Structure 1
Amino acid sequence: MSTSPDVIEEASPAPSATPLASATLGGEQKRSIEQITLLLFITVPFLALVAAVPLVWGWGVSWLDLGLLIFFYFLGCHGITIGFHRYFTHGSFKARRPLRIALAIAGSMAVEGPLVRWVADHRKHHRFSDAEGDPHSPWRFGETVPALMKGLWWAHIGWMFDEEQTPQDKYAPDLISDPAIRAVSRQFVLWTVTSLLLPPLVGGLVTMSWWGAFTAFFWGSLVRVALLHHVTWSINSICHAVGKRPFKSRDRSGNVWWLAVLSCGESWHNLHHADPTSARHGVMRGQIDSSARIIRWFEQLGWAHDVRWPSQSRIDSRRKASDSRGAERAADAA
């Protein structure tokens, strides 16, 4: 069963966005006020979190807490990247029924909203990417520095409080027609509570103390969810403002390498918008994409099939002309 009708995924290009200004080419220039501001915007909260760990080590954080944070972080992250995004939104592969349900639940445990709404919003984003109608483009308010800062806030968090709702029956009819998936989506509160209570349950049972349960809840539930949310939202904001763009896309999506591990491969965003149904986003040498690796394991186990792996010719066809010439020269030299 296909999960992403071609009429949704391969929509006609939307009207062009506002012409690019020379100062806001999003990654082509080595230094700019926008890039410096963006770097601070994403790194300062992360550095503060990292600094907090040694400060409270031995008092409010333990190896168990960090283990729970990491395990549940990547469980939810891959539930979003493999399940909500590559499978349910774009139909990058087909899955056996048990895997389909498991991916729906794992993605719901990331606490990023009900499955059907998440998919509908993201399909609408692709249809109008960085143009009028895009739910969360950072270029919504213009290209000046103040407008971009306002747009980044909008793309990162603000758009979720907008009264406008994406019509789910228009953008996700395939999911609505599946009773099991519709049920998982409606049970979002249940999966949220489960996601938040599992770490303190494990922490309390392992340490046999309420303090162990409390610290596990703080790090394995609260900090983990907050970190995952900001990384996911950064794909909407940061990866549509800066980054390298070796592939042809009708928007401003860019590859941001320093988010690759935490985003489970989602920050190779330029290729994704150039080829949305591709099961692998990190297609160039050295581009880490843990989501693609796990999809490969699913395929080898027989849980997934008809995976849309990008062929070399397909990748080359989506390269910009200048980048294609560089790749050919590199191949000749080798």
Structure 2
Amino acid sequence: MPLLARTVNTPLLIEVRRGAVADLGPLLVDKRISAGGDVAVVVGPGQGEKIVELCMPSLGSADVFTVAGGTIDAANQLGDRLRTRSYDAVVGVGGGKTIDTAKYAATRYGIPMVTVATSLANDGIASPTASLDHEGGKGSYGVHIPIAVIVDLDFVENGPDRQTQAGIGDAVSNLNSCADWELAHEVRGEPIDGLAVTLARTGAEALINHPGKITDDGFLTTLAEALILGGIASSVCGSTRPVSGGDHEISHAIDHLFPGTASHGEQVGLGALFCTFLRGETERFGQLARCLHRHGLATTPADLRLTDDQFVEAVRHAPSTRPDRYTILEHLDLSADDLRTRLGDYVDALRDHLG
């Protein structure tokens, strides 16, 4: 009897620890990604000099490129510069904008991509997508999944707390995204990928139940792993379905209607909490509310400096941001008046769970 299985693309290397940037050269040699350091190191304008100082001693043949902005133009310009020489890999070192710029440019020219994350703001560190600004706004582009994902906890710890908090919101929102996917499967017969759901939900469950703080190595490692698993989950099923549900629709709507409100992670965290309430999942709602509150994330529209009417407008607009996606928002299709009533009930429920 034949054994039926599928091949899953995952990074060759996943390393989460302190001092990873300084050990970049040996790590690439160990996994046979680059024996001689013939790589393009892409850094952002913020910590670029410090990063280069740490990693260049072990990457003697590397070229360093500085990028800024996280735009499609910056990614195309970087791609043009990568044509001047043959590289074993493109190494994106920094936060989300730098990594997404490097991912897009590397994919454009078929060069393996290595992520070296110095912040944990979202699951882009391991995902097969790049979020880049263009003249019409922000676009999401399909890219190759990184061949290696390295997270340096020294940089994460010394970075802004808001970036780490955003990463928490992004990671735990996967619980809602998976629930929305299961709803679409049940109601509309949408195909669902159990492996992708397992990966996305397992990382989020580990994080939501972790007792640590954002200053603890154990908690930061769990956060990094949750974000990486979310990225791999998207790669497994070929879409963002396991990591993007009604929570992301709400965030996209806020970005469109009230740009500059908050970070992506803060907005999807609140969106996930509200969607969980709409589904009537009382136990999960309390669990998620306590997690967000414990780590200083928004649990009410006011925490994001949005009025109730603005939040209702965003939730009403949310389904139009992803017309192809079926979530609890499309399922209930609540009017503005109904949403105002539900929002009031939501705030009352928060008081019961948070005291």
**TM-score, normalization: structure 2?**
0.26
Q: TM-score, normalised by structure 1?
A: 0.27
Task: Return the structure number with greater strand share.
Answer: 2
Structure that is richer in helix per residue: 1
Higher RCO structure, 1 or 2 (CA under 8 Å, sep 6+): 1
